[in-house]
Amino acid sequence: MNTHLKIVTFGGGSSYTPELVEGLIKRYDSFPCTQFWLVDIEEGKEKLEIITELAKRQFKKAGLPVQVHSTLDRREALKDADFVTTQLRVGGLEARALDEAIPAKHGVIGQETNGPGGLFKALRTIPVIMDIIKDCEELCPEAWIINFTNPAGIVTQAIHEYTSWKRFIGVCNLPYGMHVEAARLLNADVSRIRIDMAGLNHLVFGINAYLDGNNMTKDLLKLYASTSGLGMKNIVDIPWSQAFLDSLGYIPCSYLRYYYQKDEMLKAQEEQMKTNTTRAEVVMRLEKDLFEQYKDQNLAIKPKELELRGGAYYSDAACNLMDSIANDKKDIQVVNTPNRGALQGIDPHDVIEVSSLITKDGPTPLTMPILKPGALGIIQQMKAFEKQSALAAVSGQYQDAYLAMVMNPLVQSEQKATLILNEMLEAHKRYLPQFNRREK
């Protein structure tokens, strides 16, 4: 293994970066990052400088000889990188607020990665990631790109479908969080838990759950129905009914509430809009508080408040993956990667989120049982939407984006699709150059 690893992080000024640094510190013995480059854009310069100084203090407190660099010139950072991580938010939290507010005005759930919001985050993000890949092809052709940018599934689909870059893996903290939840419910250490997972990013199912090799799926389904406070920090906690869980037979991820509890989730969002407590507004306030803490020259650890963000466990998901690739660990992790026949009913070339064996050559998806219709049906429907969204991001054609909008299960209305699409195209015009010369 390379004992002098160079890691480049795009979106380096993100409030999540201290969590990534913590993960690198914890794994330094097996995964010695000696160069850590943080890259951002001009608008993020101030936050980048604050995060860079905090990262230096974190590594210094840990007594590790890690050189921390920051730059607005991505080509300077990329040369000979071993791993490139992406945690972008094109348009910032202001764009997220629009993604939530505009659909909600028309009686549709507005959310960062689901529905119209997820579509537009993909439209803004995919061209930027593709530009980064062009530089990677020239400057670090052997690097692994670990993408944490949402919507991670659509982004990963687009890269594998429309570029020749193969060393691209989508990562989400949600599957790891589901393992932590299961461990808590079963009163066990997370190291004793294994959940076979399959589906799509933010649409993944726990197929079978094991404690010390014993199948505990039915026990967990009972515990899930009687326990609140589970799931992601950014999703309203509406309990699942025992009847639904028993019928489904799988452990649903938190985001499936947007599809299986659509009316209740829309009502919850309408209440948030009235009280200025939408997720974007909450995160804006939290970010402001976090960056005030980050400025403190005496702070040299990740603040506890960062775990209130939806990306808790990010460092474990991202750093475990990089560590396993670098050391050819052959352990099992849940990642977004081409299906390769692991999940029947989905094209082998299409990207799924699935338990995979992680080696120096990347992920090998584990073969999953044939899924019941209650899970497979929505996976197939959403995969079609993801592919249409990726096409729209690449083509910049109005009709491609329009069809994606109509297809989405949270919209499924020609009239609403037209209204929402036109309003969001105008609102996000600055970040959608591929649509600027569109013809309706």
Q: What is the mean pLDDT of the chain?
A: 94
pLDDT over 90, % of the chain: 85
The reported pLDDT for the residue numbered 230 is: 55
Distance of CA 230 to the CA centre of its chain: 18
> Rounded to 5 degrees, what are φ and ψ at 140?
-150, 65
Predicted confidence band of residue 440 (pLDDT cuts 50, 70, 90)? very low
pLDDT of 244 higher than 60: yes
Contacts with 328 (C-beta within 8 Å, 6 or more apart), sequence order: 359, 360
Q: Mean pLDDT, to the nearest integer, of 294-316?
A: 79
Distance CA 440, CA 437 (A): 10
Q: What is the CATH number of the domain that holds 40?
A: 3.90.1820.10
Counted domains in the chain: 1
pLDDT of 142 higher than 80: yes
Q: Mean pLDDT, to the nearest integer, of 175-185?
A: 93
pLDDT of 313 higher than 80: no
DSSP per-residue letters across 309-348: STTTTHHHHHHHHHHHHHHT--EEEEEEEE-TTSSTTS-T
Residues classed as catalytic: 255
pTM of the model: 0.95
Residue 20, burial from CB neighbour count under 10 angstroms (0-12, 13-18, 19+):
buried
| Residue 88 to residues 15, 16, 321, 425, Cα–Cα distance (Å) | 11, 11, 19, 20
Q: Mean pLDDT, to the nearest integer, of 430-438?
A: 86
Distance CA 325, CA 1 (A): 10
pLDDT of 311 higher than 60: no
- The 10 Å Cβ neighbour count of residue 262 is 15
Helix axis angle, 174-185 to 314-327, nearest 10°: 110
Distance CA 440, CA 295 (A): 47
pLDDT of 139 higher than 90: yes
pLDDT digits (tens, 9 = 90+) for 63-111: 999 999 999 999 999 999 999 999 999 999 999 999 999 999 999 999 9
Q: Mean pLDDT, to the nearest integer, of 199-218?
A: 97
Rg, C-alpha atoms of the chain: 21
H or E segment at 252? strand 251-252
Which of 20, 83, 141 minimizes the C-alpha distance to 326?
A: 83
Distance CA 189, CA 211 (A): 10
pLDDT digits (tens, 9 = 90+) for 362-420: 999 999 999 999 999 999 999 999 999 999 999 999 999 999 999 999 999 999 999 99
Structure-model confidence comparison of residues 16 and 416, the more confident one: 416
Contacts with 65 (C-beta within 8 Å, 6 or more apart), sequence order: 34
Domain of residue 187 covers: 1-440
Predicted confidence band of residue 38 (pLDDT cuts 50, 70, 90)? very high
